[in-house]
C-alpha cells in the first residue's frame, strides 16, 4: 500500500504552517487536527483564542503581571487542566479537542498558554523537558529572569530544581540545556510523536500510518520513521487481505 492516508487538507495546512515566518506551531497543530476532523474551521479556534486574549488583556490593565493574569484566565476562570485519567486518549493531542474539552497533554496546554502569552505581548516559549513539557515566561527582555510554568498542573510555577527532578524522574541525567526554548519544528514533531504512541497503543494502524506520514512530511530524512511506515503499511495490507 502506497496510498497516503493523511487527509489532503491536513497536509495542505501543514505545508502552509511550515511556510509561515516564523514557523507556527499553533497553525501546525490545527493542520494535525484537520486529519481527524476535516471539517474543522480554523477561524473558530482563533476566535476562541481571541476571547482568552481579551480576558487576559483586561486583567493586565489592572495588574500588568502576565503570569497571574494568564493563570487566572486559563486555569481559574476557564478551568483548563491536565488529562490524567485518559492520558493516552488521542483527543488530548488535537488542538481543537483540547480547546473544546479544556483538557489535554502538557504539550498542547503549553501551546495554548504560550500562544496567548505572545498575543498579549509576553515573551513565552515551549520547553521540552524529558518526560514533561512546560512553558517558559520571560520577565525581562534578556530572558535572565524566566518563570517556568507547568500548564498540566494549574499553571504552577516551577523552580529549576523542580525541573531537574522532573528530568531525573524520567531517568535522564540533568543538563541545563533542557531549559532552552524548543524550536517550532521539534515541538511539532513531539506533538505528532505523542499521537503516534496513542494510536499504537490502540492498535489503530490507519491513524498511526497517517501520523507517520505527517512526521515524514516534516522530517523526510528520518530512516527509522521510513522503515516503521513501511512495516505498518505492510501490516495493514495483510490485515485488509485477511478480511476480504
CA angle (176, 18, 178) in 5-degree steps? 5
Rounded to the nearest 5 percent, the helix, strand and coil shares of the chain are 60, 10, 25
**Would residue 94 count as lying in a domain?**
yes
Task: Report pLDDT for 239.
Answer: 85
* Per-residue pLDDT tens digits for 193-202: 999 999 999 9
Please count the CA atoms within 13 angstroms of the CA of 32 that sit on its side-chain side.
34
Q: DSSP H helical segments within 202-222, as ranges?
A: 205-218
**Would residue 179 count as lying in a domain?**
yes
d(CA 132, CA 59): 29
List, as one string, the DSSP characters of 33-49: HHHH-TT--HHHHHHHH
Domain count, the chain: 1
Task: Report pLDDT for 241.
Answer: 87
* Per-residue pLDDT tens digits for 131-177: 999 999 998 665 578 999 999 999 999 999 999 999 999 999 999 99
Give the pLDDT mean for 12-26.
Answer: 95
Task: Report pLDDT for 197.
Answer: 97
Q: What does DSSP say about strands 103-104 and 81-82: parallel, antiparallel, or unpaired?
A: parallel
**Would residue 200 count as lying in a domain?**
no
Name the residue range of residue 163's domain.
8-183
Q: What does DSSP say about strands 103-104 and 123-129: parallel, antiparallel, or unpaired?
A: unpaired
Task: Report pLDDT for 139.
Answer: 85
- Is the pLDDT reported for residue 119 higher than 60? yes
**Would residue 235 count as lying in a domain?**
no
Task: Report pLDDT for 142.
Answer: 58
**Would residue 218 count as lying in a domain?**
no
Per-residue pLDDT band at 38 (split at 50, 70, 90): very high
**Would residue 194 count as lying in a domain?**
no
**Would residue 19 count as lying in a domain?**
yes
* Per-residue pLDDT tens digits for 199-238: 999 999 999 999 999 999 999 999 999 999 999 999 999 9
- Is the pLDDT reported for residue 181 higher than 60? yes
Residue with cell 496567548: 116
Amino acid at each position: 500500500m502506497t496510498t497516503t492516508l493523511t487527509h489532503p487538507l491536513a497536509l495542505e495546512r501543514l505545508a502552509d504552517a511550515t511556510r509561515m515566518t516564523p514557523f507556527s506551531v499553533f497553525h501546525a497543530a490545527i493542520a494535525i487536527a484537520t486529519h481527524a476532523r476535516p471539517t474543522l474551521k480554523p477561524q473558530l479556534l482563533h476566535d476562541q483564542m481571541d476571547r482568552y486574549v481579551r480576558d487576559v488583556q483586561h486583567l493586565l490593565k489592572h495588574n500588568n503581571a502576565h503570569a497571574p493574569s494568564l493563570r487566572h484566565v486559563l486555569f481559574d476562570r476557564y478551568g483548563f487542566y491536565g488529562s490524567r485519567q485518559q492520558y493516552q486518549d488521542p483527543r488530548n493531542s488535537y488542538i481543537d479537542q483540547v480547546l473544546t474539552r479544556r483538557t489535554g497533554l502538557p504539550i498542547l496546554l503549553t501551546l495554548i498558554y504560550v500562544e496567548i502569552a505572545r498575543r498579549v505581548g509576553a515573551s513565552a516559549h515551549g520547553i521540552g523537558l524529558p518526560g514533561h513539557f512546560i512553558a517558559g515566561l520571560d520577565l525581562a527582555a534578556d530572558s535572565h529572569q524566566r518563570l517556568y510554568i507547568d500548564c498540566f498542573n494549574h499553571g504552577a510555577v516551577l523552580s529549576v530544581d523542580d525541573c531537574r527532578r522532573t528530568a531525573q524522574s524520567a531517568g535522564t541525567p540533568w543538563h541545563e540545556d533542557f531549559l532552552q526554548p524548543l524550536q517550532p519544528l521539534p515541538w511539532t514533531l513531539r506533538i505528532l510523536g505523542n499521537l503516534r504512541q496513542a494510536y499504537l497503543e490502540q492498535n489503530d494502524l490507519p491513524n498511526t500510518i497517517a501520523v507517520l506520514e505527517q512526521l515524514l512530511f516534516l522530517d523526510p530524512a528520518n530512516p527509522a520513521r521510513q522503515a516503521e511506515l513501511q512495516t505498518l503499511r505492510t501490516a495493514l495490507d495483510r490485515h485488509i487481505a485477511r478480511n476480504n
